[in-house]
């Protein structure tokens, strides 16, 4: 069964005899292969083509074909597989593109631009042929089409670290705002609070605060969907907090000394 979906327009190969192939493994255990054809076949033809593209890329079982309308662009054929791995401490995904590659070439296309992507979590690829494969490769034949294993190493503690840094940054910002609201605030103390907030924000950026929800999903702590999206977005709040702390910390030091006093008799030390 084929379903029609839509998204923002994406590019397909400019050459009519080429195909783009994107293999995507999601954190929730599902996966898909997204195919874009250079000759821009209509959705009806893609549905017919799907009957000839039945290779079990992710082990046994037939892939479920859907049509991605691609907005104003050419439609894509998406071959979906549910539950290619069970979320846990060290899930693995086995895949094989050799048969699907041959089925695509049998349709009359001469080359395939293949890419692979995985959740934003620690992982290891074990791919053959090892000397000819990266995450982006052009296949002019199927003798070197990749197959192998993706081993995921989810680390949910990374999300906890990101949220902890967000908490430190938020607390330091609140202390900074409280200090600056006083009639006799101490500039140096405010600088300390602002510096702590900025350091926490910087650490959050370096440790990849954004997107850590994938670690929670792949480890089985939570299901995918809007909850995972929300938990991935929460740590991003560290960025505006860090920017606000930077602005508030620098402002008193850039003002003339006479303007730094907020009331008669206040000090700036």
Give residue-wise pLDDT tens across range 95-110.
999 999 999 999 999 9
Nearest to 153 by CA among 189, 125, 112, 130: 125
Does the pLDDT value for residue 257 go beyond 60? no
Please give the distance of CA 247 from its chain centroid, rounded to a whole number.
Answer: 30
Does the pLDDT value for residue 187 go beyond 50? yes
Most confident by average pLDDT, 10-24, 86-100, 159-173, 247-261: 86-100
Nearest to 179 by CA among 188, 168, 170: 188
Give me the mean pLDDT over the 83-88 stretch: 90
* Residue extents of the structural domains in the chain: 4-152, 157-260
Mean pLDDT of the chain: 78
- Per-residue H/E/C for 198-219: HHHHHHHHHCCCCCCHHHHHHC
Long-range contacts of 135-143 (CB under 8 A, 24+ apart): 137/113, 138/111, 138/112, 138/113, 138/114, 139/101, 139/111, 139/112, 139/113, 139/114, 140/110, 140/111, 141/105, 142/98, 142/101, 142/102, 142/105
pLDDT in tens, 110-155: 999 888 888 888 888 888 876 555 667 888 888 888 888 899 999 8
- Only one residue has tokens 């977005």, namely 233
pLDDT tier at 78, thresholds 50, 70, 90: very high
């Amino acid at each position: 069964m084929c379903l029609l979906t839509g998204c923002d327009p994406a590019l397909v190969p400019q050459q009519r005899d080429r195909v783009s192939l994107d293999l995507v493994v999601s954190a929730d255990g599902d996966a898909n292969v997204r195919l874009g054809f250079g000759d821009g076949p209509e959705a009806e033809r893609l549905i017919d083509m799907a009957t000839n593209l039945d290779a079990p890329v992710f082990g046994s079982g037939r892939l479920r074909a859907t049509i991605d309308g691609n907005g104003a662009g050419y439609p894509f054929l998406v071959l979906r597989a549910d539950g290619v791995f069970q979320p846990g401490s060290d899930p693995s995904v086995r895949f094989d593109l050799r048969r699907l590659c041959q089925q695509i070439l049998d349709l009359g296309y001469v080359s395939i631009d293949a890419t692979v992507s995985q959740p934003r979590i620690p992982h290891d690829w074990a791919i053959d042929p090892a000397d000819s494969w990266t995450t982006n490769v052009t296949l002019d034949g199927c003798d070197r089409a990749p197959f192998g294993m993706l081993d995921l190493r989810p680390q949910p503690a990374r999300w906890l670290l990101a949220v902890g840094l967000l908490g430190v940054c938020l607390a330091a910002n609140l202390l900074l705002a409280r200090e600056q609201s006083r009639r006799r605030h101490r500039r140096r103390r405010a600088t300390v609070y602002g510096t702590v907030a900025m350091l926490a924000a910087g650490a959050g950026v370096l440790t990849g605060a954004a997107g850590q929800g994938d670690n929670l999903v792949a480890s089985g702590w939570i299901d995918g969907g809007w909850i995972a999206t929300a938990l991935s977005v929460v740590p991003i709040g560290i960025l505006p907090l860090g920017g606000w702390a930077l602005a508030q910390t620098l402002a008193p030091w850039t003002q003339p000394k006479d303007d730094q006093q907020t009331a008669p008799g206040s000090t700036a030390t």
